[in-house]
Chain A
């Protein structure tokens, strides 16, 4: 089968390349505040659109005589587009997986969990929960660390710690909760938003409380857990 065109000219494709380069360089240049970046981006975009329309117009007659080729090309282009969107789906899927399967020791948020009745609590084994707190680069001082708790499966519990802001400006940070061993992460549920955001005003001390729940899913041979709290400052 012959191709769509025996000796087509490569002028338009080459100039499409130049237009794409102008869009790319101009776009990044304008992000960096470089003079002329926006103009180059705009000129490149307009040229790109015009050249692509020209190319499509030139190809129309050829594809009308070779519809199989046109459909094959279009189908493959759509496949590429679908895979581009798939990366967004992978991102969402990862988010769901980390919450539901405890991937990387992450915990799930599950608001308004019921508390087990007293007879169930009395029959289950207590789990010792220790906490490791990592302040990172957040410019606050730890005043009171979280205490070691003994919690029974099915019980709500609160992890509290106090921090002091010795600066004048308020400091905003987010707390990332993780569980070791990671296999027990699905047994810990947050009773409010997964990554709570907190603000400590200047020259004040604040107690941060994380409401959590230990489910019955905790394996029977797990007598203790370590909950890691990592703080990340939000600008």
Chain B
């Protein structure tokens, strides 16, 4: 992306520029390109899964390979695609939004990014080592991953350690930037909502990624150093793994969604031409969601044999989380109410996110009811639920953010026609893919199976059709973005969007390599 960077000489110069950069815009670009590359790789894996499940019988993959593919699909999508893309948004936008010249620790920023490609090279290499790739699901439950895991599990463990270090360092950088580098006059409550969402997300990352690191360390010591944290024969407990993992795992899903909330909270006011409704309550809702995320983890374990009192506690706290989330949804809708709405591509994706994520949240409420969850657990109902939340939720918000900010990053508008085509194809195909999964789950189709009974055939065929449609839609997106980066679109002004508010819109498009070398003054509410 062109933004008046210093011109390097030759291939070596270009490589050195990107490898050793500490500029937040360059690192944001690197995160985004890496994240979307991993998105396409994990997306290809998802198409392999859907091709396997298009009809009853074994089509493409043997069961062992299928287990590896679903494991790597989940890990790559969460840690390789969604989190880096969100970090890319953070790197690009946070300094611009708060009037800072760069992140607080630019070299730490470089280190945070470059850990990712190496970590994923190690993770992907596990597919080719003797014994096969990791096959315990993205949740890596013990004792399947400890006693019975292949040798590649150890490489996956170090890969997860590196990913964790990357996320923790990025989180430290973001918090330090937001607390210390805001332009004069910008108090915490005047900070943009996207910045707030990332502040809270960064604290969540620092709180829970080390717990994952501790858990996988215990896995490694169980596998090689004679400990028995999760081994009953040695006095341990496999259920301990589940508690530890989900203590990380549930805040993790809020790490994936809170920045998405922040993106939507920036886009909806712009295209409604109204300030965000209930701005203060939105900030407190983000904080509430983050705090509550620590006390809901065992709703992933309702069928594990917990005490009734424990299940009741987690059922109530899980249902409670829907309250601040509902506040946010109502506030977005209230922002749009009686606004001068226009439906450019970012707004379409934002509205798509609000409706689709609400559906995902409703099925989440169904899963929160412990006795009902006894039927839903480990069925395709859960698969449908979390794919609505992550694909129709986080991913749609990412597309919204890309279309919203790409004119600022590149200096050129994308093709609105292709953008709208991408939106409608994605929205329709996401529903074709994941809505039938709820009914498959209710009908009794279990998760993580390479083959299934005849009674599930029709809906699975629909799911596969939708998945391939969705994959095709992303090719349209990729083409649109490549053309935009090559400068084939209409030139964008600094303001880009008529009603956009925020410091990032006060600089020209594309944003200069160095911005806000002199801090801007904030005089009024932003």
Contacts and interface: CB of A to CB of B under 8 A. Distances in A.
A153 to B, nearest CB: 21
A94 B103 contact: no
A24 B168 contact: no
Interface string A166-198: 000000011010000011000000000011000
B188 interface: no
B158 A68 contact: no
Given A88-B214, A94-B243, A14 B110 contact: yes
B232 interface: yes
B237 A94 contact: yes
Interface in B135-162: 151, 154-155, 157-159, 161-162
Interface string B78-107: 000000000000000000000011111111
A1 B247 contact: no
Q: Is the contact region of chain A dominated by helix, strand, or loop, or is it mixed?
A: helix
Contact of A21 (B122, B171, B207): B122
Interface string B226-253: 0001001111010110011001000000
A134 to B, nearest CB: 12
B154 A91 contact: no
Contacts of B115: 17, 20
Interface stretch (B15-23, B32-40, B333-341): B15-23
B229 A103 contact: no
Interface residues on A, range: 35 or more
Contact of B305 (A10, A69, A105, A174): A105
B172 interface: yes
Contacts of A173: 233
Contacts of B181: 1-3
B208 A1 contact: no
Interface stretch (B280-288, B306-314, B420-428): B306-314
Select the residue from A9, A81, A85 with max chain B CB neighbours within 10 A.
A9
A14 B237 contact: no
Contacts of A86: 210-211, 214
A197 to B, nearest CB: 9
B180 A28 contact: no
Interface centre among A3, A12, A79 (most CB of B within 10 A): A3
Contacts of B101: 2-3, 6
A232 B111 contact: no
- Majority secondary structure, B binding face: helix
Given A2-B101, A98-B237, A80 B210 contact: yes
A114 interface: no
A230 B162 CA distance: 38
B215 interface: yes
Contacts of B374: none
Nearest to A106: B237
A98 to B, nearest CB: 7
A37 to B, nearest CB: 11
B210 A103 contact: no
B152 to A, nearest CB: 10
B206 A83 contact: yes
Contact of B114 (A9, A17, A79, A94): A17
A17 B118 contact: yes
A16 B118 CA distance: 12
Contact of B154 (A6, A17, A18, A31): A31
A16 to B, nearest CB: 6
A101 interface: yes
B232 A232 contact: yes
Contact of A10 (B19, B180, B307, B519): B19
A73 B172 contact: yes
A104 B298 CA distance: 13
B244 A3 contact: no
Contact of A103 (B118, B208, B213, B306): B306
B123 to A, nearest CB: 11
Nearest to A17: B114
B233 A81 contact: no
A154 interface: no
A104 B237 contact: yes
Given A12-B107, A72-B176, A80-B168, A6 B102 contact: yes
Contact of A80 (B114, B118, B180, B206): B206
A12 to B, nearest CB: 7
A139 to B, nearest CB: 14
A10 to B, nearest CB: 4
Interface in B53-83: none
A79 B206 CA distance: 7
Contacts of A84: 210-211, 213-214
A13 B211 contact: no
A12 B106 CA distance: 12
Contacts of B157: 28
A72 B175 contact: yes
Contacts of A3: 100-106, 177, 181
Given A7-B23, A174-B232, 4 more contacts: A6-B514, A8-B22, A18-B118, A84-B210
8 contacts: A3-B100, A7-B23, A8-B106, A17-B118, A80-B172, A230-B232, A232-B232, A234-B233
Please list the 10 inter-chain residue pairs (A to B) with the smallest Cβ-Cβ separation, ordered nearest first: A87-B214, A13-B111, A10-B110, A84-B210, A232-B233, A10-B20, A83-B210, A24-B158, A13-B110, A76-B172
